[in-house]
Structure 1
């Protein structure tokens, strides 16, 4: 990688880690809010689901803005916005204020993925390695968020912990503001718009029709199913694990330790390996075929998760770590597939639609999980999740057999 590549990769790694640090701290706070606000899992599933939905719904306008105004500025605004939303959350006295803070976080965080991924796909020549490092940084945040939150809650009340977590985003925003990069270095000489991006609603709808008239519609189906599985399995997993007798709270030095939270953080840490492997695979295998296989494995994992949790600690640890690996190996695969099927000048809007599917539609996974757990059982929830994975696997198989790469 040259110096411009390294600067871009460093910038997006920092921002990606911040976004997911906050995103995956919420499931830990949920275990506190259930008691703090005397709320049900269904109610909190809706509250958190709204914030997560905006995380995805804002990706589409974020992608349009990225194509038109560049990625770096949006990343700076994202970091400042997330810090501000956590400062508001730190003083939230009621559940409606918590919902407002999550609303603001969702809007702020939503612009990152289309901006960051468009920046990688247009500015970095070694795309596969860039996706791998970008994904690893995201998983560092995904693992660090729950772990840091859990450790800080041993010492401070939850509002103080939220305030502390706001500080890294402020620092990252200042660092991002000072970077100097060429955002289109890897696509120079290709046919792109001179002014960049979408300039009118007519052009927006025209570009959208062009995208969805082709194989991108199948990729969009894959990412929707991925988002539903991702959010559905992770949102209440700390609470589900905490209900198992083997993970009952342990008193240590006058504090109550929650072993389930550490397994949750460990599962997410394993995802760093999944992101790295997935990123490297994008340069070595047919992405659609790898998508079909990976989601097939996720379907199997969902079916065996509850039986494994009832079989003892060793089977549960094994299936949890395989879940963590496979859950994140798919992300670089579909990110690279989007870049294959879309032109550079529409890359931002393409990733906007992608993360509208992953985090917008996918946010329903949190609501579905909360409602299913309230009225049914974990077995029913994991059966539903297996269904999402099967649909994604079938779409990947269709792309592998009938898509452009198959011809």
Structure 2
């Protein structure tokens, strides 16, 4: 049997790589726009195919993880995804870039339904492990801005794809050598919630509604953040490395929030945590729509913090209320909604930015996030099993 700590380590690394891969383009596009002499708003939709594949292929990926092998699917993620990312760095025109980004999304679709299910099945403390895993994913998002900005400025945007792609292939080979194929039947950390069957359907409806609203907002904010920093936070300059560093620091705060929320989930009911998080997103987005410089930096950091806290809560919901043999498919259903509607967020940002800039874009997202606040009001009070934090 595999050591749980070894499996969880690789799953955490995979989470960081998954978000890194999906967001390299969001920062690299600033340099690409200059090289190809194409405006930002026209290049951004090239990522649409990747985000569609990221969501649409989650369900078959989750099914294969449950029915075939989660370990084999993760090996395909590391190696296939890495090759797709590296190949995108060799693209010669926008059409080839779009094809490469779609391939990245297809392989990236494997991680969330399969990797998260694998994590939950090896976890002893669900909230803590989900929180730590969320930190890794958030660091992948942060590094997508920092690493891409630095590599693009020093060596060109192509290097920003090739280097992490080849690194993933190497990690995948080590994963295959150290993790054997196995089927686990759950862990003591899962299924801790104590709610009635009549309330179970309400939980899943709320989860899917929140997944819809958060999917749009999450993808829109992560795709738009580098450009938002370039336009409205000018006190540090607008070099790619500077933009990447600011983005990294913003996402670092989000990572700390995920770790904190993950630990709180082991101690308090999900409803108690969901309510303040659910009500905070819309006001912060509205504030960010009018702000600039330091005020925008504070508002944008707040938006990222509550978004990632909500992601951690959603993962805990799914992990608590599903059995191991169906867990990858349950995560897949949730992520299919999150990432499929998130694909539309790319086109939404491009269209709203052309129409009313980021003022209109963030105001529309604030309106969407009112759904999360309403859903939080209807979430039932579960009774978690308290554990000794030591």
Q: Give TM-score scaled by structure 1 length.
A: 0.85
The alpha-carbon deviation at position 86 of structure 1 amounts to: 1.6
SS in 1 for 2:380: helix
Partner Cα separation in structure 1 for residue 11 and residue 318 of structure 2: 18
- Structure 2 residue matching 1:235: 3-state secondary structure: helix
The answer as to 2:227 corresponding to 1:236 is no
Aligned pairs for 1:135-284 (under 5 A) are: 135-180=134-179, 183-184=183-184, 186-187=186-187, 215-244=203-232, 246-247=234-235, 249=237, 256=239, 259-284=242-267
Runs of 4+ off more than 6 Å: none
Instruction: State yes or no: 1:302 paired with 2:285.
Output: yes
C-alpha offsets along residues 361-398 of structure 1, whole Å, 9 cap, x if unaligned? 11211211111001222111111111221102211221
1:2-24 deviation line (CA, Å, top 9, x unaligned): 98221221111111111112122
Q: Decide whether aligned partners of structure 1 residues 39 and 372 sit closer, same or farther in structure 2, where only a CA change above 3 A counts.
A: same
Q: Which runs of 5+ in 2 are unaligned?
A: 192-199, 385-390
The question of whether the paired residues in 2 share the 8 Å contact of 1:122 and 1:187 is answered with yes
Whether contact under 8 Å (2:213, 2:369) holds in the other structure is yes
How many residue pairs get aligned? The number is: 376
Question: Could you tell me whether the CA contact under 8 Å between 2:232 and 2:296 is conserved in 1?
Answer: no
285, 291, 316: which is aligned to 2:274?
291
Structure 2 residue matching 1:51: 3-state secondary structure: helix
Q: CA deviation at 1:289?
A: 4.1
Q: Tell me which residue corresponds to 1:194.
A: none
Q: Distance in 2 between matches of 1:79 and 1:106?
A: 13
Q: Which residue of 2 aligns with 1:197?
A: none
Inter-CA distance 34–163: structure 2 relative to 1 (3 Å threshold): same
SS class of match (1:154) = helix
Partners of 2:115 and 2:240 lie apart in 1 by: 37
Match of 1:374 in 2: 354
Are the structure 2 counterparts of residues 257 and 38 from structure 1 closer, same or farther at C-alpha, using a change threshold of 3 Å? closer
Please list, as runs of the form range in 1=range in 2, the aligned pairs for 1:7-406 lying within 5 A after superposition. Answer: 7-180=6-179, 183-184=183-184, 186-187=186-187, 215-244=203-232, 246-247=234-235, 249=237, 256=239, 259-309=242-292, 313-400=293-380
Q: What is the Cα deviation at residue 102 of structure 1? A: 0.6
Instruction: State the TM-score, normalizing by the size of structure 2.
Output: 0.89
Separation (CA, whole Å) in 2 of partners of 1:258 and 1:347 = 40
Partner in structure 1 of residue 197 of structure 2 = none
**Unaligned ranges ≥5, structure 1:** 192-211, 251-255
SS of aligned partner of 1:215: helix
Contact persistence 1:229–1:365 (CA under 8 A): yes
Q: Distance in 2 between matches of 1:154 and 1:369?
A: 25
Q: Distance in 2 between matches of 1:257 and 1:121?
A: 37
User: 1:51: Cα distance to partner?
Assistant: 0.6
| Cα distance between partner residues in 1 of 2:115 and 2:3 | 15
What RMSD in Å do the two structures reach over aligned CA positions? Answer: 2.6
